[in-house]
Amino acid sequence: MEIIIGHIFRMDLTKMALDAIPDSNKIILIDISLSGEAKNYAENHKKHIQYVRGPGYPNQWCFSKVINEGAKLCMGDFFIIMGNDVLLNKGTIEKINEEISKCEDKVGILGPCRDGRIPLLHINIIRKKCFKDVGFFDERFYPVCGEDQDYYVRLAKKGWKFKCIPIDYLHMDGGHHSRIEIPAEQYQKFVDKWGFPPSGLEYYEIINKEIRACKK
């Protein structure tokens, strides 16, 4: 399995996230920290990491761009995107592969959900064929926030589904979002694009009817 992780802050968390991933998986590490501090660790500790030095924080980085740049390097049928503050528990990748083997062809993304109906972007498994069809994550949602809701709407309009699955992981506090102020205009960008807010009734009707595929 190919796994995309972006590093901005907290190398201690990033190390924990990387160390929890079995060596049989390929990691694409997009380093957008100001110092490029993840390079030494990637070169000396994990032979299965493909290190990419991305545009540095604070002026050029964009989470959508992290996903897009990593996805370009993925060659398999599915790839995982996850934050540097996600700690996978033992056996999680095997369970993800089992869920993939059971999902229907129109499931484009698998991942955890809140309250059984709201997809979370902590960790998502994306079908490469779906990604090619739906397209790149929209980089207008700079630096972060809104790109996931936008992608789920686009997913639905292309006829793909999101399948909610149980994933055994720990979301650690203090990664990407803890030191980033999310401006209110991020939500306005979503409204300007779609004509409704990412937390409104119309959005959830699309999510519930067209995207979400409950675990069976």
What is the bridge-based pairing of β-strands 123-127 and 78-82?
A: antiparallel
Q: What CATH superfamily is the domain 2-213?
A: Spore Coat Polysaccharide Biosynthesis Protein SpsA; Chain A (3.90.550.10)
Question: 87 is written with which tokens?
Answer: 């700690």
Question: 11 is written with which tokens?
Answer: 């190398």
What is the bridge-based pairing of β-strands 78-82 and 2-7?
A: parallel
pLDDT averaged over every residue in the chain? 84
Between vectors from CA 40 to CA 35 and to CA 44, what angle results, nearest 5°?
170
pLDDT band at residue 181 using 50, 70 and 90 as cut-offs: very low
pTM score: 0.87
pLDDT at position 213, please? 59
For residue 24, pLDDT beyond 60: yes
Best mean pLDDT range from 31-40, 78-87, 183-192, 197-206: 78-87
29 SS3 class: strand
pLDDT at position 143, please? 66
Evaluate whether 63 touches 146 at the Cβ level (below 8 Å).
no
- Measured from the Cβ of residue 147, the count of other Cβ atoms closer than 10 Å reads 26
